[in-house]
């Protein structure tokens, strides 16, 4: 233990290091890697959005905004959400602009949780929810989802994990890392359970535009759910704006006010240049975004077909830009598979267990990569699997 | 027709896509895609497959010019006959009929600027229907066929991220 270690909060110490961080270090030490391990679009932000940011800077928009964010942006978000999920939010007090969805998740947990409150987190999932609960002195309760269910949250399984301390349910669909989606019917089956158990839903819909089969549905759109759902979304994935760090939360005025209280004392406001760019994205970005989504969809089909051809079983991911194939054919665990694949074939994919224990036996392959890189990676993975096929 | 259009959009951006890959992308049968492409080649919907090359990087010299050409249209044929004649010269890469102050825009390539000058003075300007030419030599190519030549936008993402 280093001499300063004793000053570190036990809560922070108890949070395990990210499995992705360890793998990142390995990948950066390897040369000539084809990476399917990236969690962001391979497009840069469309030029008209970047240009709108330059213009705003030229016009002198370099100051703070209100804590809640620019009124024009909140108005555009209200229009967008009404159109996309059919739920009306008042720009004045039901929408908060945050620094990415990550901040929205963090402040929602801190606004809602008391020590010991439980947060139901369907896994495998994005890495932030459980640490977010821990940092707010709550307790993350992993709820397993399964390959055979295409990683949809099943009502019977959810019910098993609910206790009198359960307060928040995280729903993050389309899913990172699985690409799974929840259909309207899937969500409808959860509504009664959520209401009966008085749960608040954090609905992380950051990948909602990247839905390739059917329409995205938000849990907030069901009767009785708007007030108990915090819809979170942002610009990172749909508009290729990851580095701008602009997200938002929509919800009941009391919850948004509580979140805003934390936001104002920690962040103050999301950067104005990002907010100006986000306005442009919502007003004029639909066509470019559709092109990007079409491109992801083509690559989704190529990678899925390729993975199945080399013998990996994989359900059809209907959203986001990830495949989550089983590596049972190799007989290896996720970390061994990824490390050996990296060393032997210089292909980076992410171990499934980095996203929760029941991601073990799977890998996350991101298809936000060029078609030539996807095809080359599949060829290399095919060679690798042939060599390591479980006898 | 919709399928043809989708195929064309895909191969316009990447001529190297195989019928097999296109079939996967469009949820179609590989043989069907190959047949449609073959038919479009036969119908001259698809005229050919070129490569965009940055000759500066390939140590290749060369010169290119855009020439504004005013011509006298001909009865019955309009601009077509002279345009087709200009197309026959191997030095000519593109010929477009334009609106505005001149009629044809002609792109010409040669080993040197002198080659181009000789082509204009000896072959193009001497055509009976050509009234005048204005030549613009290309100094540098920045973008062609939707490809940026010196694109600083390489993949700057972290190699692994959550």
Interface predicted TM-score (ipTM) of this complex, two decimals: 0.83
Angle at B91 between CA B89 and CA B95, to 5 degrees: 70
**pLDDT at residue number A212:** 98
Query: Which burial class, exposed, middle or buried, applies to A163 when counting CB atoms under 10 A from its CB (0-12, 13-18, 19+)?
Result: exposed
**pLDDT at residue number A172:** 98
Residue with tokens 């570190």: A8
> What does the pLDDT look like over B39-67, one tens digit per residue?
999 999 999 999 999 988 887 778 999 99
Query: Which burial class, exposed, middle or buried, applies to B58 when counting CB atoms under 10 A from its CB (0-12, 13-18, 19+)?
Result: exposed
Angle at B31 between CA B30 and CA B36, to 5 degrees: 100
CB contact under 8 A, B159 and A348: yes
**pLDDT at residue number B152:** 67
Question: How many alpha carbons fall within 13 Å on the CB side of residue A24?
Answer: 14
**pLDDT at residue number B61:** 76
Confidence class for position A2, pLDDT limits 50, 70, 90? confident
Contacts of B25 in chain A (CB under 8 A): 298, 301-302
Contacts of B157 in chain A (CB under 8 A): 38, 40, 42
H-assigned helices in A90-212: 100-112, 129-135, 155-161, 184-196
Question: How many alpha carbons fall within 13 Å on the CB side of residue B143?
Answer: 5
Task: Quickly count: other Cβ atoms within 10 Å of residue A44's Cβ.
Answer: 15
Q: What is the three-class DSSP state of B134?
A: strand
* B161 in A contact zone (CB under 8 Å): yes
The residue of chain B with its CA nearest to that of A346 is: B159
> What does the pLDDT look like over A16-29, one tens digit per residue?
888 788 888 889 99
- A contact set with B (CB within 8 A): 18, 20, 23-24, 27-28, 33, 35, 37-40, 42, 44, 126-128, 176, 298, 301-302, 305, 348, 350, 354, 371, 375
**pLDDT at residue number A197:** 98
Nearest residue to A140 via CA among A154, A163, A120, A123 = A120
**pLDDT at residue number B25:** 96
* B27 in A contact zone (CB under 8 Å): yes
The pTM (predicted TM-score) of the whole model is 0.92
CB contact under 8 A, B157 and A40: yes
CB contact under 8 A, A35 and B159: yes
Taken in order A348, A349, A355, A361, the sign of the CA dihedral is negative
Percent of chain B exceeding pLDDT 70 equals: 99
Question: In whole angstroms, how far apart are CA B155 and each of A44, A96, A322, A368?
Answer: 9, 32, 18, 11
Given a cut of 80, whether residue A93 has pLDDT beyond it is yes
**pLDDT at residue number A121:** 98
Question: In whole angstroms, how far apart are CA B142 and each of A111, B26, B56, B111?
Answer: 52, 32, 12, 20
> What does the pLDDT look like over B75-89, one tens digit per residue?
999 999 999 999 999
Confidence class for position A1, pLDDT limits 50, 70, 90? low
Mean pLDDT within A66-77: 98
Mean pLDDT within A340-362: 96
**pLDDT at residue number A57:** 97
> What does the pLDDT look like over A362-385, one tens digit per residue?
999 999 999 999 999 999 999 999
Percent of chain A exceeding pLDDT 70 equals: 100
Cα of A99 to nearest chain B Cα, Å: 17
Taken in order B74, B77, B79, B81, the sign of the CA dihedral is negative
Which neighbouring-strand residues pair with B148? B143
**Measured distance CA(A27)–CA(A338) in Å, rounded:** 10
> Do the Cβ atoms of A248 and A97 come closer than 8 Å?
yes
């Amino acid at each position: 233990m280093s001499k300063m270690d004793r000053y570190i909060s036990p809560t922070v110490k108890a949070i395990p290091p990210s499995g992705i961080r360890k793998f990142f270090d390995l990948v950066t030490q390897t040369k000539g890697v084809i990476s399917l391990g990236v969690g962001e679009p391979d497009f840069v932000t469309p030029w008209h959005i970047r240009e709108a940011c330059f213009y705003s800077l030229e016009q002198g928009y370099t100051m703070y905004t209100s804590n809640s964010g620019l009124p024009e942006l909140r108005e555009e978000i209200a229009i967008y959400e009404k159109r996309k999920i059919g739920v009306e939010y008042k720009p004045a007090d039901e929408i908060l602009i945050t620094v990415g969805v990550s901040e929205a998740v963090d402040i929602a947990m801190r606004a809602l949780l008391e020590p010991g409150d439980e947060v139901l987190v369907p896994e495998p999932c994005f890495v932030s929810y459980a640490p977010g609960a821990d940092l707010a002195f709550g307790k993350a309760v992993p709820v397993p989802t399964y390959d055979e269910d295409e990683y949809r949250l099943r009502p019977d399984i959810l019910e098993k994990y609910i206790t009198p301390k359960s307060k928040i349910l995280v729903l993050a669909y389309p899913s990172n890392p699985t690409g799974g989606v929840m259909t309207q019917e899937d969500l409808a089956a959860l509504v009664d359970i959520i209401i009966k158990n008085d749960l608040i839903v954090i609905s992380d819909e950051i990948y909602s535009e990247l839905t390739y089969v059917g329409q995205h549905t938000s849990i907030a759109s069901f009767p009785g759910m708007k007030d108990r759902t915090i819809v979170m979304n942002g610009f990172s994935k749909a508009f290729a704006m990851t580095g701008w760090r602009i997200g938002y939360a929509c919800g009941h005025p009391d919850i948004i006010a509580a979140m805003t209280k934390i936001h104002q004392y920690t962040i103050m406001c999301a950067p104005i240049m990002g907010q100006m760019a986000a306005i442009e994205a919502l007003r004029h970005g639909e066509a470019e975004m559709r092109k990007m989504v079409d491109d992801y969809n083509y690559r989704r089909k190529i990678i899925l077909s390729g993975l199945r051809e080399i013998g990996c079983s994989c359900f059809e991911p209907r959203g986001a830009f990830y495949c989550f194939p089983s590596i049972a054919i190799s007989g290896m665990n996720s970390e061994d598979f990824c490390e050996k694949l990296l060393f032997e074939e210089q292909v980076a994919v992410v171990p499934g267990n980095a996203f929760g224990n029941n991601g073990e036996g799977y890998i996350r392959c991101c298809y936000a990569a060029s078609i030539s890189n996807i095809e080359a990676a599949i060829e290399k993975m095919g060679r690798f699997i042939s060599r390591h096929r479980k006898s | 027709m919709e399928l043809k259009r989708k195929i064309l959009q895909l191969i316009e951006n990447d001529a190297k896509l195989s019928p097999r890959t296109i079939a996967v992308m469009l949820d179609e049968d590989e043989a069907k895609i190959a047949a449609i492409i073959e038919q479009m080649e036969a119908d001259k919907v698809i005229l050919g497959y070129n490569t965009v090359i940055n000759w500066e990087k390939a140590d290749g010299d060369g010169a290119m010019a855009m020439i504004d050409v005013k011509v006298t249209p001909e009865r019955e044929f309009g601009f077509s006959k002279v345009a087709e004649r200009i197309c026959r010269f191997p030095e000519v890469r593109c010929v477009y009929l334009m609106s505005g102050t001149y009629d044809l825009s002609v792109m010409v390539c040669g080993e040197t600027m002198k080659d181009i000058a000789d082509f204009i003075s000896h072959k193009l300007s001497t055509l009976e229907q050509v009234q005048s030419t204005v030549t613009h030599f290309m100094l540098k190519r920045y973008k062609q066929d939707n490809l940026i030549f010196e694109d600083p936008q390489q993949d700057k993402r972290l190699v692994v991220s959550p």
